[in-house]
Amino acid sequence: MKKYTVNKPYEKEVLDKLHRVQVEILRDFDAVCEKHQLHYFAVYGTAIGAVRHGGFIPWDDDVDVAMLREDYEKFLQIFPEEMAERYQLMTPELDGDYTCTVTHLQRKHTKFISEVTENLPYEQCIDLDIFPLDEVAEEARAQKKQGRMAVFWGRMLFLCGSGQPVIAADGLVGNLMAAACACVHAVLKLFRVSPRSLYRKFVRTATRYNGCGGEYVTSFEYNGCLKDKIKKKDLFPLEKVPFEDMELYIPANNHEFLTHVYGDYMKLPPENERVNHMPKVIQFEGEAPIYNQ
């Protein structure tokens, strides 16, 4: 069973350069959203960094933003005209080899390949993660089913691309889980199940209750999606805050949401809990790749 490093430190020069590229991506994304009146906002570690550090969490190496599904769909439509010259948009609908539910806005002519994704066949670049938010079912039983099935299809999608996901358990249990994942991957390949078909099932589950007047929305991309649901009405009006040398939006209920998800998010975690996505290969535009072992 393979284990992954989650907090290996970067060389400062490399991380600083990565942050500069990610700010450029974020600035370009922000400009397009402003032009077309699309609402986006920072979430997760990016939102923590904005309010706690005025920019990136010092050891963090990704950018997370969210949009309501309606704005997200509009962004997909305008992307080819507005951003395709410098960027690549990654979903299983757009790239049949891509096996992740999170939408990636990638800078062309770069590379960012992590331990988790090193064996996956799609192009991997320095990117920005976009999380569309969908309405959660109001009735408790339907809500649990929606969350359970969304996570199931998301896991099947990843296993379609790789039989080696991160396993949280150790020992015999971990080995059994790893073997089961390898078997599922083999079966999906044997029956030629495509990432696109699994992604469509995921999206149908996530969007099933959109337009039904649900009070809560969430990103169905991960196991804690129902625990982390938020009231749609409390997202707005968005607030713009400093982030590095620009400004970005955070939701009106940013403090409540981050407290709900992380607890005391203003407190720095111990060094051994400072998680990043340390790449095995990183390449900046026009430069030679850097390999980390």
Does the pLDDT of residue 254 top 60, yes or no? yes
Average pLDDT over residues 150-159: 96
pLDDT of residue 2: 53
Residue 207: predicted pLDDT: 98
Given this model, what pLDDT does residue 124 score? 96
Dihedral sign from CA coordinates of 165, 94, 87, 39: negative
- In this prediction, residue 61 carries a pLDDT of 96
pLDDT of residue 293: 60
What is the arithmetic mean of pLDDT over 27-39? 98
- Give pTM, 2 decimals: 0.95
Residue 279 has pLDDT above 80, yes or no: yes
In this prediction, residues 145-165 reach a mean pLDDT of 94
Q: Which domains are assigned to the chain?
A: 12-135+211-291 (3.30.460)
